[in-house]
């Protein structure tokens, strides 16, 4: 379990780092600014909550594998709740949420969710083959 967790941690870090660099560069090309629109905070937030909930999913996989889908859905709901509590108020300070702010949160969120799903399914399949 620990090996799978650290493997996920490294892969998520590398993928989000590349996405951050690309995202920031695109913002720069569009004249928004590389580090504008709370992009750093959004990437760190998504990285942090994803590694926490992936660890939780790995722990619960062994005990309650039949309920893992519900735990994943509940964790996604909590991620959005945390977003609305901590991140969205920062966006609203600048007269509402605009497209660059939307993408600053949802690009790392979608990448994290896709990677989380892929890695947990891979872990489940590997366990079933054993």
pLDDT in tens, 6-63: 999 999 999 999 999 999 999 889 888 767 768 899 999 999 999 999 999 988 887 7
Which among 108, 117, 38 is positioned nearest to 72, based on CA atoms?
117
Measured distance CA(91)–CA(85) in Å, rounded: 11
Cα angle for residues 52, 56, 58 (degrees, 5° grid): 115
Matching residue, tokens 């996405």: 19
Measured distance CA(115)–CA(53) in Å, rounded: 12
What is the four-CA torsion angle of 39, 20, 119, 6, rounded to 10 degrees? -90
Which whole-number Å values give the CA distances from 124 to 10, 52, 79, in the listed order? 19, 18, 23
Q: How far apart are the first and last CA of the chain?
A: 14
pTM of the model: 0.88
Give the total residue count for the chain.
Answer: 130
Q: Write out pLDDT tens, residues 95-125.
A: 654 778 788 889 999 999 999 999 998 888 8
């Amino acid at each position: 379990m620990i090996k799978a967790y650290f493997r996920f941690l490294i892969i998520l870090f590398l993928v989000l780092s590349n996405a951050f660099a690309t995202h920031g560069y695109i913002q720069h090309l569009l004249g928004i600014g590389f580090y504008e629109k709370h992009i750093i905070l959004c990437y760190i937030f998504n990285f942090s909550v994803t590694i926490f909930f992936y660890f939780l999913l790995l722990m619960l996989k062994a005990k309650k594998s039949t309920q893992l889908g519900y735990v994943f859905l509940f964790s996604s709901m909590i991620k959005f709740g945390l977003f609305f509590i901590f991140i969205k108020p920062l966006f609203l300070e600048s007269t509402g949420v605009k497209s660059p702010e939307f993408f600053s949160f949802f690009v790392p969120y979608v990448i994290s969710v896709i990677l989380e799903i892929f890695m947990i399914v891979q872990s489940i399949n590997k366990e079933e083959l054993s």
